[in-house]
Amino acid sequence: MALTNDAHKIIEGFNTIDIEVQPVVKKGATLKKTVVVCGDGKKIIGNTGQMQNVTSADFTISVTDSRKKTAKVSISKTPVKYIPLTCDLAAKAKL
- Amino acid 62 reads S
Q: What is the pLDDT of residue 25?
A: 84
What are the tens digits of pLDDT across the range 59-79? 999 999 999 999 999 999 888
Q: What is the pLDDT of residue 14?
A: 76
Q: What is the pLDDT of residue 4?
A: 63
Q: What is the pLDDT of residue 1?
A: 44
Instruction: With a cut of 90, say whether residue 87 has pLDDT above it.
Output: no
What are the tens digits of pLDDT across the range 11-63? 877 778 888 999 888 888 999 999 999 999 999 999 999 998 888 889 999 99
56 or 3, which is more confident? Answer: 56
Q: How far is it between the farthest Cα atoms of the chain?
A: 78
Q: What is the pLDDT of residue 37?
A: 96
CA 61, 70, 63, 7 torsion-angle sign: positive
Q: Which domains does the chain have, with CATH numbers?
A: 9-92 (2.60.40)
